[in-house]
């Protein structure tokens, strides 16, 4: 089974029909079922956990669409959730006063290069875990992380030396935003049907280039 893991860009947020999301489109192109594990507002730590679960479930291929490096996972009595530091969560804070201090703290003291380094460690971890279990791994950047990579990559060369950048569909400096430039977007910034077709095409071409296609 193929697993597509990511955030709202993988889930298919703002699509009129979620069957137009890139995992379903790619599934048709490959003539293989793909399980869409994308969820809105998902951070990269949760993607790592879902990728590990996919390995445990005997995945034949895992595709990860990484999100912004600043998304941070929390958990309390109301469940597990991700926050995007330095973003406005006014309605969230109004509804859950006991969380507002955490959000304000993470916003005030957010250190982007720290989060970038943490993301690199996630990549190294999941690349080595998939390699250990002989599961092919394909990655791309849905949003945000490529900008952090451009800003901070020179500060973390030792970590980057352990990242197999060849497993990224279009390198670590590009994202879905570059792929879908000029195409229609939803009100909240998500690619629509045409954009998801572009994402599926990019991944399909990459799979052919690495010899994964039959």
For the chain, the straight-line distance linking the first and the last C-alpha, in angstroms and rounded, comes to 15
Say what the pLDDT of residue 164 is. Answer: 98
pLDDT in tens, 12-31: 999 999 999 999 999 999 99
What does the pLDDT average to over 32-44?
94
Residue 92 pLDDT > 50: no
203 Cβ contact partners less than 8 Å away, ≥ 6 residues apart: 22, 26, 63, 138, 140, 169
User: What is the DSSP code (8-state) at residue 191?
Assistant: B
Say what the pLDDT of residue 24 is. Answer: 98
Residue 96 pLDDT > 60: no
Say what the pLDDT of residue 99 is. Answer: 60
- From residue 26, alpha-carbon distances to 3, 8, 183 in Å are 11, 17, 19
Query: Crossing angle of helices 193-209/22-30, nearest 10°?
Result: 40
**Chain position carrying tokens 């390198």:** 171
Percent of the chain scoring above 70 in pLDDT: 86
pLDDT in tens, 105-137: 666 666 768 889 999 999 999 999 999 999 999
Say what the pLDDT of residue 90 is. Answer: 45
- From residue 202, alpha-carbon distances to 129, 168, 176 in Å are 25, 11, 10
Q: Which CATH number fits domain 2-70+110-209: 1.10.10.10, 3.40.309.10, 3.40.50.300, 3.40.50.1110?
A: 3.40.50.1110
Token pair belonging to 138: 């394909």
pLDDT in tens, 167-193: 999 999 999 999 999 999 999 999 999
Contact at 8 Å (CB) between 25 and 200?
yes
């Amino acid at each position: 089974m193929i697993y597509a893991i990511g955030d709202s860009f993988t889930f298919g947020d703002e699509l009129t029909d979620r069957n137009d999301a890139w995992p379903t489109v790619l599934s048709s192109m490959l003539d293989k079922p793909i399980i869409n594990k994308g969820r809105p507002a998902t951070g990269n730590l949760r993607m790592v956990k879902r990728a590990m679960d996919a390995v445990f479930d005997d995945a034949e291929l895992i595709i990860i669409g990484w999100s912004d490096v600043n998304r941070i996972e929390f958990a309390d009595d109301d469940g597990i959730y991700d926050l995007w530091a330095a973003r406005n969560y006014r309605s969230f804070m109004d509804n859950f006063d006991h969380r507002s201090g955490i959000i304000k703290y993470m916003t005030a003291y957010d250190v982007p290069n720290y989060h970038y380094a943490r993301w690199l460690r996630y990549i190294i971890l999941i690349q080595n875990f998939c390699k250990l279990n002989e599961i092919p791994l394909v990655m791309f950047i849905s949003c945000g992380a490529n900008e952090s990579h451009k800003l901070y990559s020179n500060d973390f060369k030792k970590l980057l030396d352990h990242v197999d950048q060849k497993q990224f569909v279009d390198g670590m400096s590009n994202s879905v935003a570059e792929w879908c430039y000029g195409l229609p977007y939803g009100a909240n910034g998500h690619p629509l049907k045409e954009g998801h077709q572009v994402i599926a095409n990019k991944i399909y071409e990459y799979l052919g280039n690495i010899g994964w296609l039959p």
